[in-house]
């Protein structure tokens, strides 16, 4: 099973990201999901940080409004990403309000994900942000 991180719009039930509805409703996909919600999920433009563990990520990839974190290990340094992937992850972090001005090429993706997650919860820890610990979608 592969694990990918996404930023997803929030729809319908404010406790769930769109990703949860998308994965649950996609036939033939077995997935575990965890969603980290902002303090005010009803605020205009609110998004959720999601982690999806599945052998098939096709239900999430390429969907409008869903931004995927690079498909690389969390210890991968920004310098090891393609220029486009590096630009995309930096833009995603900036859209979430992360100050990326101090992010250098040697920074691992783990630190970028942590900075993004801390916009949702001050004690966010990527090492415990696991689908296995998730409440059901």
Please, which residues bridge with residue 2 across strands?
Answer: 54
Distance between CA 110 and CA 90 in Å, rounded?
13
Q: What is the pLDDT of residue 107?
A: 92
Confidence class for position 6, pLDDT limits 50, 70, 90: confident
d(CA 125, CA 123): 6
Q: What is the pLDDT of residues 47-81, one digit of tens each?
A: 777 777 666 666 667 666 778 888 888 999 999 99
* Owning domain of residue 71: 2-133
pLDDT at 37 over 50: yes
Q: pTM of the full predicted structure?
A: 0.77
Give the per-residue pLDDT at 63.
67
Question: Which range is least confidently modeled, 36-40, 74-78, 133-137?
Answer: 133-137
Measured in Å, how far apart are the chain's first and last C-alpha atoms? 18
Number of domains within the chain: 1
Residue-wise pLDDT for 103-118, tens only, equals 988 899 999 999 998 8
Q: What percent of the chain has pLDDT over 70?
A: 63
């Amino acid at each position: 099973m592969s694990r990918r991180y996404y930023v997803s719009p929030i729809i319908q039930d404010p406790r769930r990201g769109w990703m949860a509805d998308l994965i649950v409703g996609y036939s033939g996909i077995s997935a575990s999901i965890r969603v980290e919600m902002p303090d005010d999920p009803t605020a205009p433009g609110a998004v959720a940080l999601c982690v999806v563990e599945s052998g098939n990520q096709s239900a999430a990839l390429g969907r409008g409004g869903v931004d995927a974190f690079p498909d690389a290990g969390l210890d991968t340094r920004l310098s090891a990403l393609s220029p486009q992937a590096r630009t995309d992850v930096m833009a995603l972090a900036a859209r979430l309000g992360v100050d990326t001005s101090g992010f250098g090429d040697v920074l691992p993706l783990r630190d970028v994900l942590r900075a993004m997650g801390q916009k949702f919860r001050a004690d966010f820890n990527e090492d415990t942000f696991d689908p296995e610990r998730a409440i059901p979608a």
